[in-house]
Structure 1
Amino acid sequence: MGAELTGVAQSLITTCRLHDINPYDYLVDVLQRVGQHPARDIGQLTPRCWKAHFADNPLRSDLYRFTQHSHS
């Protein structure tokens, strides 16, 4: 099971990189968005479609906001 989940994670990260997406930004956004996203539009959360719909304004973690303010 662990090897299978590792393979899924590596595949997702590789797909992000192939589409010139920062995997961290993608995962943070999708994990926050997935519970509120309409099931009929779940395809928008795949890396390729996510880039077109959400990459320009991804959801950020609280940690991101904290680190941005501490560098100002």
Structure 2
Amino acid sequence: MTTYRGRMVSGGHLQIPLDVHEELGLADGDDVCLEVVGGELRVRTSTSALARVRAMVRTRVPADVSLSDALIADRRDDAARG
């Protein structure tokens, strides 16, 4: 684990060192997810946050089940019932 030093600047903006930008693959204007855990700030790329959510869902849904297909089937059933 590498520790970096950033800086809080006017308007509540946090300056993140270029090395961190590069390591996370961030570009100006990219969205990130911020999480406060135990008094610490965690910054994740949107891509890594989405991958984390997908992994959590996969632990609850069998690999051979398509949630989108199940949702479409439910909607069609609802529509058929009127």
As a proportion of its length, which structure holds more strand?
Answer: 2
Identify which of structures 1 and 2 has the higher relative contact order when contacts are C-alpha pairs closer than 8 Å and 6+ apart: 1
Larger radius of gyration: 2
TM-score (norm: length of structure 1): 0.28
